[in-house]
């Protein structure tokens, strides 16, 4: 009996990386490999990496070291590293030197080469290192293997032109390139025909979509097109830059029947001085004006954000401005981060680095305030009925289901797995800081 060859992929980082993993899995499946959850028994092990923080890189290098013994026991095993970490200049040499048992290395611009690289290794057992210096053309119609049958990730842009001073992404993902509307619509049409009811449109800055086109098609225009796709129920997008969130986009979303009312708008800081040092391209005042415009058109908008604490030069006064902005906006939730130097970015060379002790104290104060506001907002959902897309069992209780509201709130409620992939009404009975608990209503 011929044994089925298997692959194991571990993904680090953002949803762009998750989407890349779906494509990698699709190509491996086409080559005859089957997904495995057991790293120890796989024929191919791939680490799809992130390099936003050096901590993530160190974790990958540590994992690779642990695989040395596994490789010695199974010489035919292919161990590979791909993604943003590898795309950095000189990183493939560092990995090969520290982990010579890693035979496969490729970057973010050429994931479509995976089948050829694997075949080369199988034929010769020679290591394959392929890291392109520049982006090249967008490769369409690559196979993919979705994690869920009813929701999917869809790339609309690749790369980033923003060059925030703390961020490595433009250096490893390349310049911004938009996919053609025709390819995007065709892809989503096929997904909807296969039963997908929710899509997440992905880009480092989705609001920049179409700026590289000559026909003036922009993100708002694309949303209109996607909104017309039959069978689709929900449209999400990630990530949107506050600088490029236009009045046209606000109006288009308000008129849409499928675009979700969740606005994730990373503010990063509340001080104009710090925003300028970050090269964010907007001011505190313009950000607050944007929030007002959104709430004027969307009275039930769920607004979340990202905030960095302890950016170089951040004074107590700067931090208090961030706290005050949080109070004024009253975010539904926030991803908060302690600033950490990222080699290769301008901010890593800035003087006036803030001490770790101060950063820890500030993020604690920030989180305390955000959590209090989040809880107060969630309490307003008490006894309300919300539509929830059931995503699966709760991670902490197999007797409970977990899903998302239109506004991306997580809802936990009793039920069986037959409801997974369906949108069901749930009455909220116990609002909490990070989740809403409730009971499903009869459909």
Task: Say what the alpha-carbon torsion angle 410, 415, 417, 420 is, to the nearest 10 degrees.
Answer: -40
pLDDT of residue 126: 93
CB 304 within 8 A of CB 345: no
Residue 352: per-residue pLDDT: 93
Mean pLDDT of the chain: 94
The residue ranges of DSSP E strands in 292-409, in sequence order, are: 302-309, 333-338, 385-393, 400-404
Q: How do residues 355-400 score in pLDDT, each as one tens digit?
A: 999 999 999 999 999 999 999 999 999 999 999 999 999 988 888 9
Q: In 10 A of CB 85, how many CB atoms?
A: 29
Cα–Cα nearest to 325, from 277, 283, 276, 359: 283
**Ramachandran assignment for 83, one of left (phi > 0), alpha (psi -120 to 50 degrees), beta (any other):** left
In angstroms, rounded to a whole number, what is the distance separating the alpha carbons of residues 175 and 72? Answer: 40
Residue-range domain boundaries for the chain: 6-130, 151-379, 385-440
Q: What are the pLDDT digits (tens) for 19-33?
A: 999 999 999 999 999
The two structure tokens encoding residue 326:
């949080």
Pick the CATH number of 151-379 from 3.10.180.10, 3.40.710.10, 3.90.650.10, 3.80.30.20: 3.80.30.20
* CA 209 from centre of chain: 17
Mean pLDDT, rounded, for 425-432: 98
Fold type of domain 6-130: Rossmann fold (3.40.50)
Residue 138 has a pLDDT of 84
Q: What is the CATH number of domain 385-440?
A: 2.40.50.140
pLDDT at 2 over 70: no
What's the pLDDT at 188? Answer: 97
pTM of the model: 0.91
- CB neighbourhood size of 351 (10 A): 6
Give the start-end residues of each E strand in 211-360: 234-238, 262-264, 302-309, 333-338
Quote the CA–CA distance of 421 and 220 in Å, as a whole number.
27
- Strand 234-238 and strand 198-202: pairing? parallel
- pLDDT of res. 15: 86
* Spatial contact of 432 and 378, defined as CB atoms under 8 Å apart: yes
User: 110: closest CA among 90, 128, 83?
Assistant: 83
Q: What whole-number distance in Å separates Cα of residue 44 and Cα of residue 59?
A: 19
- C-alpha distances (whole Å) from 150 to each of 101, 143, 154, 423 are 38, 17, 13, 11
State the Cα–Cα distance between residues 237 and 262, nearest whole angstrom. 9
Closest Cα partner for 206 from 220, 195, 225, 224?
220
Q: Give helix 219-227 / helix 181-193 axis angle, nearest 10°.
A: 30
Task: Kindly provide the residue ranges of all beta strands, DSSP E only, lying in 239-348, ordered along the sequence.
Answer: 262-264, 302-309, 333-338
- Quick one: which of 272, 342, 345, 334 has its CA closest to 307? 334
pLDDT at 54 over 80: no
Between CA 41 and CA 274 the distance in angstroms is 49
Beta-bridge partners for 427: 385, 439
Partners of 334 in the β-ladder: 305
Distance from C-alpha of 97 to C-alpha of 105, rounded to nearest angstrom = 13
Q: What pLDDT score was predicted for residue 22?
A: 94
The whole-number average pLDDT for the span 256-279 is 98
At 14, the pLDDT band (50, 70, 90 cuts) reads confident
pLDDT in tens, 65-88: 999 999 999 999 999 999 988 998
pLDDT of residue 55: 78
């Amino acid at each position: 009996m011929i044994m089925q060859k298997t692959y194991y992929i571990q993904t680090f980082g953002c949803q762009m990386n998750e989407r890349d993993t779906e494509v990698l899995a699709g190509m491996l499946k086409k080559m005859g490999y089957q997904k495995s959850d057991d790293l120890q028994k796989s024929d191919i092990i791939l680490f799809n990496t992130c390099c936003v923080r050096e901590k993530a890189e160190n974790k990958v290098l540590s994992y690779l070291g642990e695989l040395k013994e596994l490789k010695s026991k199974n010489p035919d095993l292919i161990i590979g590293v791909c993604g943003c970490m590898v795309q950095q200049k000189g990183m493939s040499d560092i990995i090969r030197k520290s982990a010579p048992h890693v035979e496969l290395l490729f970057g973010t611009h050429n994931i479509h080469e995976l089948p050829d690289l694997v075949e080369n290794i199988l034929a010769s057992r020679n290591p394959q290192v392929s890291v392109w210096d520049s982006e090249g053309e967008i490769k369409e119609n690559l196979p993919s293997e979705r994690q869920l049958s009813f929701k999917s990730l869809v790339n609309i842009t690749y790369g980033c032109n923003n060059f925030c001073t703390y961020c490595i992404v433009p250096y490893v993902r390349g310049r911004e390139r938009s996919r053609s509307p025709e390819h995007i619509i065709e892809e989503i049409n096929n997904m909807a025909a296969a039963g997908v009811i929710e899509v997440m449109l992905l880009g480092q800055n989705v609001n920049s979509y179409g700026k590289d086109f000559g026909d003036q098609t922009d993100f708002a225009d694309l949303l209109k097109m996607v909104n017309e796709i039959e069978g689709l129920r929900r449209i999400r997008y990630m990530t949107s830059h506050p600088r490029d969130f236009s009045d046209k986009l606000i109006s288009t979303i308000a008129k849409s029947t499928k675009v979700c009312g969740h606005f994730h708008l990373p503010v990063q800081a509340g001080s104009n001085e710090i925003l300028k040092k970050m090269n964010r391209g907007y001011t505190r005042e313009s950000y607050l004006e944007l929030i007002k415009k959104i709430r004027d058109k969307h009275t039930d908008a769920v607004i979340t954000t990202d905030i960095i604490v302890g950016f170089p030069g951040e004074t107590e006064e700067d931090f208090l401005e961030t706290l005050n902005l949080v109070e004024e906006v009253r975010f539904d939730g926030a991803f908060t981060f302690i600033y950490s130097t990222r080699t290769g970015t301008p901010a890593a060379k800035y003087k006036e680095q803030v001490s770790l002790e101060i950063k820890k104290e500030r993020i604690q104060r920030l989180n305390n305030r955000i959590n209090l506001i989040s809880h107060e907002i969630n309490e307003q959902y008490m006894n309300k009925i919300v539509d929830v897309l059931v995503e699966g069992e709760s991670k902490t209780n197999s007797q409970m289901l977990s899903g998302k509201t239109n506004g991306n709130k997580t809802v936990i409620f009793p039920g069986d797995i037959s409801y997974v992939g369906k949108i069901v009404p749930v009455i909220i009975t116990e609002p909490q800081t990070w989740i809403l608990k409730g009971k499903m209503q009869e459909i």
